[in-house]
A and B are shown apart, each in its own frame.
Chain A
Amino acid sequence: MHNNDLDINISKLSKIEGHTDLDIKIRNNKVEDVGLHVMENMRFFNQAVCGQSYSNAPQLVSRICGTCSIAHLTACIEAIEKALEIKPSEQTMILRKLTMYSMMIRDHALHLYFFVLPDIFNIDSALDMPKEKMNLIHEALHIKEAGNNLSNLIAGRAVHALFEQVGGFSNEIDKTKIPAIIKELKRIRSYVIKLAEIFYNCKWEFKRKTNFVALTTSDFSFLEGKIKSTNGAIIEEKDYWNHLHNVVLPYSQASGFEFEGSEYMVGALARLNLNKDALHSNTKKDMEKYLNVFPSDNVYHNNLAQVIEIMHSIDHSIELLEKLDFKKEAIVKPTKLSGEGVGVIEAARGTLYYWIGINEGKVRYANLVIPTAQNLINMRSDVRNIVSDICNDKVLIKKLENKIRKEVEKIIRAYDPCMSCAAHFLKINWK
């Protein structure tokens, strides 16, 4: 009988958003504990946001996370507008959709090409791609640049966007730049299909039963609609919190969320499983083969779902940019300065919930639920199950360490967690 105890520590897990350490404790061939450590970089946004004026708060919460900054900005603005009864104009809603699309294009491309592709090609970094495949990385940069240019045009910047504000956009769209952006978006479509083919042919499989939850929008624009789940729930945005339970994970420093009493998954896979009919018609036409994969309970299909969302973001952006005549509009002012409101959007990684209370123009409290906190219970149990499957009585477990590390990182990357966000909103279990 071998001594089949092993402690695996992955310090600063690479190729994800933000930093986390991961500990896996195996005793006598059984996984005893999976621990995530994200608390050491706390920047205390819960405290900092209170007392801020309603007009400053969105730019402050944008700084929670560089990658997800547009998602935090947009969800926070929606909550504040609901609290202060501000009704954004039709054009503002369209500009917000374009802003969200610009983020999805960049963010999914970064995740897929730079975080996940190296695992597919068995290399450390996208920069080590064999020469004959290096064109993929050139294409990745083109896709990201198209998203970046769209962010610049609509929102002023891809990270901590300047123009998106409570009540509207502060800038006037430079219409002379629109044709070049449309051309660029059309050009990258063929790259996206190539990427879809790679993930379609990828044989990674980890099937698991779970409840998928997402905000379903009629035009798949990530902004407004009803929250639905694959087990049949249909919920208004404002009521989402009532269906969530904060659960402290045993043997862990963190806590995650359950939806209606059980584990669930948010993100691109959930959106595709619940709402693929709402995708843009051009996306549906050109990606039919890949869309037939959904609904899927293979966690790795989150990657393919993200590719499809890049295409939808491109196609709907092209339509909006071609159709619309953008005009300079005044920012809508609040009708009152106290109240509370909920903003729910779909961030790249899943449902993002903001509940904000405002008193005389200043934030009284803010309650946030971020996507990574909602996926945490699933992610942790998947890590545990994958490690348990690898553990084998007949083999000295130390020999399996590299395989365990590789498979664990692979499944975690499929969830596309954001640890910059998580560092703030995974509550800690004080022992």
Chain B
Amino acid sequence: MINKKKKRVGIFSLTCDEGCSIYLIEIFNKKLFDWLKKMDLVYFLSIRDKREIKNLDIALVEGVVTSEKDKEYLKKIRSNSKILIAMGSCAINTMPSGQRNNFNTKQLGEIKDHLKKYNFLQRALALKEVVKVDNEIIGCPINEKIFIKVFEKYLKI
């Protein structure tokens, strides 16, 4: 049976190097057109300007939650998505993008003005410290095989 209703998918970057989403675009090389039969890519700023965060079936999120702004953005994504998947080690355990969490006093002294000015959180947080996460894909960047396996599981209706 062919399912006619396509999944609405969004890809989101919090604070990070965007290596996971860039690597995901490499995974697209082989997979994109197959997946497009089953999904609409409704939010992905790297390839689309339209940006409505609404009624998502799957949200793929990379990066750490480093600021109040990240936190609000993530909460908004969560409340508009059925499934939220954390992509990569920053989103799962804060490293490497949350490296400031391990800074010594001298390093923290150097960055404190910046943290204050831009409303950074006391420490950078993993996604699951802020919202419910349905699945995680390890790697820096994401492991290709695991990504495909997990993502295709959710793509099936």
Please report A residues at the B interface, Cβ cutoff 8 Å. Answer: 12, 14-15, 17-19, 39-44, 47-48, 50, 60, 63-67, 69, 106, 110, 114-115, 124-127, 138, 141-142, 144-145, 148, 157-160, 420, 428, 430
Contacts and interface: CB of A to CB of B under 8 A. Distances in A.
B17 A420 contact: yes
Top 5 nearest A-B pairs (CB, nearest first) are A66-B19, A145-B29, A125-B48, A66-B22, A14-B49
B7 to A, nearest CB: 15
B107 A47 contact: yes
Interface stretch (B76-84, B93-101, B126-134, B146-154): B93-101
B47 interface: yes
Contacts of B23: 66, 158-159
A65 B15 CA distance: 11
A159 B12 CA distance: 18
Given A40-B67, A63-B96, A160 B18 contact: no
Contact of A43 (B47, B49, B100): B100
A383 B15 CA distance: 27
B60 to A, nearest CB: 14
Contact of B99 (A43, A69, A138, A160): A43
Contacts of B18: 17-18, 65-67, 420
B49 A145 contact: no
Interface string B36-51: 1000010001111111
Contact of B19 (A44, A69, A124): A69
Contacts of A69: 17, 19
Contacts, number: 127
B22 A127 contact: no
Nearest to A141: B29
Contacts of B51: 12, 14
Given A63-B17, A66-B17, A127 B48 contact: yes
A19 B19 contact: no
B45 A14 contact: yes
Interface of B: 13, 15-23, 25-26, 28-30, 32-33, 36, 41, 45-51, 66-67, 69, 96-97, 99-100, 103, 107, 110-111, 113-114, 118, 140-141
A113 to B, nearest CB: 9
A67 B16 CA distance: 12
Given A47-B107, A63-B19, 13 more contacts: A14-B49, A15-B46, A17-B18, A40-B118, A44-B103, A48-B99, A48-B100, A64-B17, A66-B17, A124-B49, A125-B49, A125-B50, A141-B30
Contacts of B96: 43, 60, 63
Contacts of B66: 41, 43
Given A48-B99, A63-B97, A148-B29, A41 B47 contact: no
Contact of A160 (B41, B47, B118, B141): B141
A114 B47 contact: yes
Nearest to B124: A43
Nearest to B142: A159
B100 A44 contact: yes
Nearest to B64: A43
A63 B46 contact: no
Contacts of B30: 141, 145
Contacts of A18: 18
Nearest to B95: A63
Contacts of A114: 25, 46-47
Contacts of B111: 42, 44, 47
